């Protein structure tokens, strides 16, 4: 897929404007990793360097010094979810970011009771 031309001042948006948010992904609109979902937690790999990274990737890697979800990182960076996911996928394949366990498993009873306790305590 070819890169989009640079956007003309439409970059960030509040509403449903026409934007070109995928410029910084080289025009890619989907990550090829299926294990990266909005709730997926990421952490920077200890010792990961920022050499050769774009400004957004550096910011993302910094945010991931403590575990953070893709959704929160997107909100923090002001990027649409899809763009954050693609940037993250690249960092994962380069070995700079680690993906927390995301294998969908049936939820266990003890995990449910921990959640119930937490909600009751609100």
Partner 1 sequence: MTIKHDDRPAGDAWKPRIRPVKFVVAGGFGAGKTTFVGALSEIPPLRTEAAMTTVGARVDHRRGSEAKTTTTVAMDFGRLTVDEYLVMYLFGTPGQERFGFMWDDICTHALGAVVLVDTDRLDQSFPAVDYFEAKDIPFVVAVNRFEGTTRHDLGAVRDALGVSPNVPMTECDARHTESAKQVLLLLLDELVNAARARAAATVV
Which residues form the interface with partner 1 (CB under 8 A)?
4, 13-22, 29, 37-41, 43-44, 46-51, 61-62, 65, 67, 69, 71-72, 74-75, 80-83, 98-102, 104, 106-109, 111-120, 122
SS3 87: helix
Angle, CA 93 vertex, CA 27 and CA 39 arms, to 5°: 80
Query: Residue for token digits 């003309």?
Result: 8
Q: Which is nearer to partner 1, 32 or 109 (CB)?
A: 109
Cα distance between residue 119 and residue 115, in whole Å: 6
34 and 4 in contact (C-beta within 8 Å)? no
Q: Which is nearer to partner 1, 9 or 104 (CB)?
A: 104
**In the bound complex, what is the minimum distance in angstroms from residue 7's beta carbon to partner 1?**
10
**In the bound complex, what is the minimum distance in angstroms from residue 26's beta carbon to partner 1?**
14
**In the bound complex, what is the minimum distance in angstroms from residue 98's beta carbon to partner 1?**
5
Give me the torsion for CA of 95, 97, 98, 104, rounded to 10°: -110
**In the bound complex, what is the minimum distance in angstroms from residue 108's beta carbon to partner 1?**
7
């Amino acid at each position: 897929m070819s890169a989009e031309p640079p956007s003309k001042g439409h970059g960030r948006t509040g509403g449903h404007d026409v934007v070109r948010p995928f410029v910084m992904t080289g025009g890619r609109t989907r990550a090829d990793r299926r294990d990266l979902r909005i709730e997926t937690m990421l952490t920077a790999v200890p010792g990961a360097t920022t050499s050769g990274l774009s400004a957004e990737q550096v910011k993302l890697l910094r945010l991931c010094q403590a575990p953070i979800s893709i959704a929160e990182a997107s909100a923090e960076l002001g990027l649409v979810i899809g763009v954050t996911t693609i940037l993250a996928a690249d960092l994962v394949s380069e070995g700079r970011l680690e993906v927390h366990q995301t294998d969908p498993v049936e939820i266990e009873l003890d995990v449910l009771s921990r959640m119930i306790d937490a909600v009751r305590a609100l």
